[in-house]
Amino acid sequence: MIKDVIEHVGGIGLYGIVSLLLFFAVFVGVLVWAFRLDRARLDSAARLPLETDSVNSRKEDPHE
């Protein structure tokens, strides 16, 4: 039923293509980005939640 409606919207097919290309580009971009990241820095970032509350617990980040 909605089919009747949407089909009349001009250039609806274009939306599908644009969506797919856009998504694909972003996804590839994020992948490339993520894999070029420095492992040591990732590790230090991943440890952020593990720091405890108590005073003086924070050690200087060795990677900065």
The distance of closest approach from Cβ of residue 14 to another protein in the complex, given in angstroms and rounded to an integer, is 10
Give whichever of 48 and 62 is closer to another protein, judged by the CB atom: 48
The distance of closest approach from Cβ of residue 17 to another protein in the complex, given in angstroms and rounded to an integer, is 9
* CB-based contact 63:40 (threshold 8 Å): yes
Q: Which helix (H) or strand (E) holds 24?
A: helix 12-35
21 near another protein (CB under 8 A): no
26 near another protein (CB under 8 A): yes
